[in-house]
Structure 1
Amino acid sequence: MDTLPWREIGALTPQDAGLNTVMRVYELRTDTAPAYNPHDFSGAEWLTPAALLARSAAGDPAKRNLVLLVRLYDGDALT
């Protein structure tokens, strides 16, 4: 991950958009999936912001903050 181009796109507090924690949001640009530890995750896949929101709305489980962040940063911040 150290070699990927990245930029900070947000610094948020719980008062921002109903988040439940302080966080910084980063954008990483890559065309390849990062390696992940299969012992820590049951699976991984790439989704567009629209696909993630649609799947969450259809009942697929998603972290609440993730859905809020995608809604906040989809569009100009993610281009």
Structure 2
Amino acid sequence: MVQALEGQEIAALFPFETGLGSFMRVYEIRTDAAPDFNPADFSAAWWLTPAELLTRTKAGEPAKGDLAELVRRCFP
């Protein structure tokens, strides 16, 4: 069963305006419940602050293409 979560949209990004690779809508969801991930789709998961994510990607950890730029734009 998919859990219903309420979120607030914090960004709507368009490639022709931002240079990012795709159209994106970013939502912030606040909850104490762990998401119900499909284990077949994920090998691991971490809870990171935006700063921690940027530190890891800057150190060379792999991430989806535009993730670091998306975080910089949404969490300055």
TM more than 0.5:
yes
Q: Please identify runs of 4+ aligned residues in structure 1 that moved more than 4 A.
A: none
Question: Which TM-score applies when normalising by structure 2?
Answer: 0.85
For residues 13 and 19 of structure 2, the distance between their equivalents in structure 1, rounded to whole angstroms, comes to 10
Question: Which TM-score applies when normalising by structure 1?
Answer: 0.82
For residues 26 and 70 of structure 2, the distance between their equivalents in structure 1, rounded to whole angstroms, comes to 8
State the 1:32 CA deviation.
2.6
Task: Supply the RMSD in Å over aligned alpha carbons.
Answer: 1.4
State the 1:42 CA deviation.
0.6
Provide structure 2 residue ranges, at least 5 long, that are not aligned to the other structure.
none
Share of identical aligned residues, percent? 55
Residue pair 1:8, 1:24 contacting (<8 A) in 2 also: yes
Tell me the matched-pair count. Answer: 74
